[in-house]
Amino acid sequence: MKMRRTVSVLALVAVAGCTVGPTYVPPHTDAPSQWAVQPGTPSKPVPDEIWWAGFHDPQLSRLIHEALTRNNDLASAEKRVEAAREQIRIEAAASSPVVGIGGIAENRRQSQTIQWPPRASAGDYRYWSLGFDGSWELDLFGMTRRRTEAARASAAEMAAERDGFRLRLLAEVGADYVSWCATEARVQVAEHRVSLAIRQRDLLTHKWTAGAHARADVDQAEADLAAAQQIVPPLIAQAAHMKDALAILTATAPEAMRLTPRADLSIPMPPARPPSLPSEVLTRRPDIQSATFRYARDNAEIGVAVASLYPKVAIPLDFGVTTSTLHQAFTTASLLWQLGVTAGETIYAGGRRTAQIDAARLQRDAAWLGYRQAVLNALRDVEDRLATVADTESRLSSVNVELRAAQEKCAHAQRQFHAGETALSSVLVQNSMVDRIHDQAFATRQETALASIALYKALGGGWRAVLSRDSGWADIDKF
């Protein structure tokens, strides 16, 4: 009899390796071999994981570090990832036995007017009980394993979403800092234009007083001065807004935010670099990683739904001592135990369980379509950013040529003025023209830098190493 029971238990253990439901196969979609828009050749290779190093700006690197270490939303996302990983342990624990301990010490009085149970003694008696009880639900058809698999996929999806937020955070820090630098430079240019307009107004007023110019010329100079003065306040306000935005991103009080304008009032510009191949982008963008893990989670949920069709088998266990005299508590006569196997199966549930399987399959199919759409969105995003970078670089080249021509013309006018060959007003007009083109050049430089940052973001920002190290999906190849 004992041998027969042993064989039965071994048979149950052998069957416990069965896991129902579809086996996970990573989603795949074809990607183009090259991008439609080809970028230029890099002047110096820049590590993807620290793309901001290509700007060669210590202040930007400091802001990036502060955002990574102090941003509250990023820290909150990290806590959610940790909570999701704890859920893996919760689901996996369902496959382990549950053991409890309890005891009873009380005085009882047995009724003498009942016929059952028969009276072992009359009147009052003592009752002592101490023991362990437990239950082990066998994961014969893999429901717990599928739930653990789904929890692992959910944790990986949460980690990918965190990496996506980190990517967006750093891109926003870079964009706000570049915008602040550009705005500070444009403020200086605008204030210089105001000083030139004042000199032009004063010069024409003096000549009008002397009868050399008409009053209309003075009025025009006043209008030009007012127009130049109107440019400055919005730029100052914009610079303040960018500074406050950086304070929020780095978890710094706005009044404590300290930024130092670049010495030459230039805008940090990244070097040209060729992006990753389309196939590499599909493995490094956090949104695509998130869609992949979402598909894995929904695939595992099908197995959970399928496993609900099968019986649930558990092994209950009770072991302890029960006695009325405490000194006999640890004798063989007081020992009690119970060991067996329980099984249960739902015969009819109105089609609920098959509907759950169908719903899980449809959810998995929707996740597959979401993955395909995420891939298409990613490819389009990169192509759009590449086109924007090419456009801004072309416009920047043109405005630089125009700026150099205007500066040479202004320098020629100054030489003529010092030689007595032209009036001061002509020099002031040329200087004002240089300032207008200079402002346009700063704005175009800002657009170029922002386009480069957006391209880094579209390429995934080099977070492939972060995903493989921190996503909590090291076992994905085992599915």
Radius of gyration of the chain (CA): 38
List the structure tokens of 377: 């969105």
For 37, list phi and psi in degrees, rounded to 5: -100, 120
Angle subtended by helix axes 143-209 and 424-458, to nearest 10: 180
Q: Which residue has the higher pLDDT, 101 or 466?
A: 101
What is the rounded CA–CA span in Å between residue 456 and residue 281?
Answer: 11
Contacts of 94 (CB under 8 A, 6+ apart): 137, 139, 144, 147
Q: Indicate whether 474 pLDDT > 60.
A: no
Q: Could you read off the pLDDT of 423-457 as tens digits, one per residue?
A: 777 888 888 888 899 899 999 999 999 998 998 88
Torsion angle (degrees, nearest 10) of CA 288, 292, 294, 298: 150
How far does Cα 83 stand from its chain's mean position?
16
Burial 382-414 (b: 16+ CB within 10 A, else e): bbebbebbeebbebbeebeeebeebbeebeebb
Q: Distance between CA 250 and CA 242 in Å, rounded?
A: 12
DSSP 140-170: TTSHHHHHHHHHHHHHHHHHHHHHHHHHHHH
Is it the case that residue 467 has pLDDT exceeding 60? Answer: no
Angstrom distances, CA of residue 409 to CA of 203, 210, 312, 399, 433 = 21, 29, 89, 15, 10
pLDDT tens string 308-355: 888 888 888 787 777 777 767 677 777 777 777 777 777 777 788 889
Summarised one tens digit per residue, pLDDT across range 114-134 is: 555 555 555 566 767 777 777
pLDDT at 274: 56
Q: What share of the chain is helix, strand, coil (3-state, %, to 5)?
A: 65, 10, 25
| CATH superfamily membership of 22-97+142-311+352-478 | Outer membrane efflux proteins (OEP) (1.20.1600.10)
Task: Give 375 or 28, the one with higher predicted confidence.
Answer: 375
Phi first, then psi, for residue 128 (nearest 5°) are -120, 135
- What are the tens digits of pLDDT across the range 132-176? 777 788 888 888 889 999 999 999 999 999 999 999 999 999 999
| 3-state DSSP assignment of residue 358 | helix
CA pair distance 436, 13, nearest whole angstrom: 82
Residue 104's closest CA among 380, 320, 255? 320
pLDDT, greater one: 382 or 106: 382
Name the token pair of 19: 């896991």
At 249-266, the pLDDT tens digits run 999 999 899 999 887 778
Confidence grade of residue 81 (pLDDT, cut at 50, 70, 90): very high
Do 471 and 178 contact (CB within 8 A), yes or no? no
CB contact at 8 A, 292 and 371: yes
Does residue 1 surpass a pLDDT of 80?
A: no
Mean pLDDT value of segment 396-401: 92
List 130's β-bridge partners, or say none: 103, 321
Q: How far apart are CA 109 and CA 125, in angstroms?
A: 6
* Mean pLDDT for the stretch of residues 37-56: 62
DSSP, res 417: H
Residue 174: CB partners within 8 Å, gap ≥ 6? 52, 55, 60, 64, 453
First to last CA, the chain: 40
Per the document, the length of the chain is: 479
* Token pair in block for residue 67: 């955002």
Tokens encoding 367: 């996740």
Parse the chain into domains and list their residue ranges: 22-97+142-311+352-478
**d(Cα 421, Cα 293) in Å, to the nearest integer?**
75
Q: How far is CA 195 from CA 53, 158, 183, 228, 232, in A?
A: 37, 55, 18, 9, 12
